[in-house]
């Protein structure tokens, strides 16, 4: 049973323990990934998050309405063969991290960025021995090779399920440092989200809230918070 063009036909949703994890069963039938593998989750907590989506589903199934299931499918079907490429892509954010690029004006925004962004950069410097250079404007600054390498090593510690969730934390925020802070529980996702949106918040304060932009931002915020929940749901040890 996969998401593609299916309608709800089942009455019961159960989480069942398997040899190496947990599966979701619909009327006793194990949910499959798009590539016909058992949708095997590493922890009961993660399986419960996915099972809840199947239990809440009605009518025709929509992947966009079942983000935890989509994450689990990607983790099982895609991550195993693409781990190195995904690690490379995410680690590259350390070379151009959002927190390293500061505004040139006005002074109020410059001060707010420093107040919000210096602390996570200092944390990353101490935690991973990865100091990053800060610049004003958008001209790229070359980061220390050892810092970039050390941040990459931090990303390499994730298993496929963790990496799939971590991917969203990085891409939505634009910051490898903030994603690592969330994954190491140095910051909660809500706090990191507010830090990542310092520029947008300041702009809204100056010019007012754009309803369309606010709606799009809320969708991203919810996805960011879910990524934290999914990451922690499979966490057995703290990296």
Residue 138 lies in a domain: yes
* β-pair partners for 15: 24
Contact assessment for residue 184 and residue 127, using Cβ atoms and an 8 Å cutoff: yes
Q: Are residues 97 and 37 located together in one domain of the fold?
A: no
Are residue 123 and residue 100 in the same domain, yes or no?
yes
Q: Let me know whether 72 and 94 are in one domain.
A: no
The reply to whether 20 and 62 lie within a common domain is: yes
Boundary-marking domain end, from 58, 77, 96? 77
Note whether residue 5 is domain-resident.
Answer: no
Structural domain span for residue 53: 13-77
Domain with residue 31: its CATH number is 3.30.2180.10
Residue 187 tokens, joined = 């910051």
pLDDT at 3: 53
**Residues 57 and 66 sit within 8 Å (Cβ to Cβ):** yes
pLDDT band, very low/low/confident/very high, at 238 (cuts 50, 70, 90): low
Question: Is 128 a residue whose pLDDT tops 60?
Answer: yes
Q: What is the C-alpha radius of gyration for the chain, rounded to an integer number of angstroms?
A: 20
Query: 3-class DSSP state for residue 236?
Result: coil
What is the C-alpha to C-alpha distance for residues 98 and 138, in angstroms, rounded to an integer?
10
| Number of domain units in the chain | 2
Boundary of a domain, candidates 55, 77, 99: 77
Residues 210-231, mean pLDDT to the nearest whole number = 95
The residue written with tokens 């529980």 in the block is 185
- Inside any domain, residue 238: no
What is the model's pLDDT at position 22? 97
Q: What is the reported pLDDT for 210?
A: 85
**Domain boundary pick from 77, 108, 130:** 77
Residue 167 lies in a domain: yes
- Residue 105: inside a domain, yes or no? yes
Task: Tell me the helices (H) and strands (E) count for the chain, helix number first.
Answer: 10, 5
**CATH number for 97:** 1.10.3580.10
pLDDT band at residue 121 using 50, 70 and 90 as cut-offs: very high
Give me the residues paired with residue 18 across strands. 21
pLDDT of residue 237: 58
47 with 15: CB under 8 angstroms? yes
Q: Facing residues of 41 across strands?
A: 22
How far is the C-alpha of 105 from the C-alpha of 111, rounded, in Å?
10
Report pLDDT digits (tens) over 155-173.
999 999 999 999 999 999 9
Task: Say whether pLDDT at 2 is over 60.
Answer: no
* Least confident stretch, 30-39, 60-69, 181-190: 60-69
How high does pLDDT run on average in the chain? 93
The strand ranges marked E within the chain are 13-18, 21-26, 29-30, 101-102, 135-136
Is 6 contained in some domain? no
State whether 20 and 90 are in the same domain. Answer: no
β-bridge pairing 29-30 and 101-102 = unpaired
Q: How confident is the model at residue 209 (pLDDT cuts 50, 70, 90)?
A: confident
At 12-23, the pLDDT tens digits run 999 999 989 999
151 within a domain of the structure (yes/no):
yes
The answer to whether 155 and 184 have CB atoms below 8 angstroms apart is no
- Which pair of tokens denotes residue 163? 């990496």
Residue pLDDT, tens place only, 132-150? 999 998 899 999 999 999 9
* Structural domain contains residue 187: yes
- Whether the predicted pLDDT of 33 surpasses 70: yes
What's the average model confidence in pLDDT over 167-193? 98
Are 52 and 58 a contacting pair, CB within 8 Å? no
Which DSSP letter does residue 64 get? Answer: G
Residues 43-96: tens digit of each pLDDT: 999 999 999 999 998 888 888 889 999 999 999 999 988 999 999 999 999 999
């Amino acid at each position: 049973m996969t998401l593609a063009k299916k309608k709800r036909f089942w009455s019961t949703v159960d989480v069942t323990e398997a040899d190496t994890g947990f599966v979701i069963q619909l009327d006793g039938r194990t949910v499959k990934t798009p590539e016909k593998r058992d949708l095997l989750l590493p922890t009961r907590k993660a399986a419960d998050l996915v099972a809840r989506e199947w239990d809440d589903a009605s009518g025709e199934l929509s992947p966009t309405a079942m983000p935890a299931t989509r994450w689990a499918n990607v983790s099982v079907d895609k991550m195993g063969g693409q781990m190195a490429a995904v690690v490379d892509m995410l680690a590259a954010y350390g070379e151009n991290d959002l927190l390293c690029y500061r505004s040139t004006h006005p002074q109020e925004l410059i001060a707010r960025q420093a107040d919000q962004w210096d602390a996570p950069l200092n944390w990353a410097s101490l935690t991973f021995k990865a100091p990053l250079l800060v610049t004003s404007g958008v001209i790229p600054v070359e980061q220390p090779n050892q810092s970039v390498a050390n941040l990459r090593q931090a990303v390499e510690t994730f298993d496929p399920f963790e990496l799939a969730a971590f991917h969203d934390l990085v891409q939505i925020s634009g910051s490898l440092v903030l994603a690592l802070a969330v994954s190491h529980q140095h910051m909660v996702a809500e706090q990191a989200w507010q830090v990542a949106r310092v520029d947008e918040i300041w702009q809204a304060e100056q010019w007012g809230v754009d309803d369309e932009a606010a709606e799009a931002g809320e969708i991203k915020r919810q996805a960011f918070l879910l990524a934290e929940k999914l990451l922690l749901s499979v966490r057995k040890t703290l990296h």
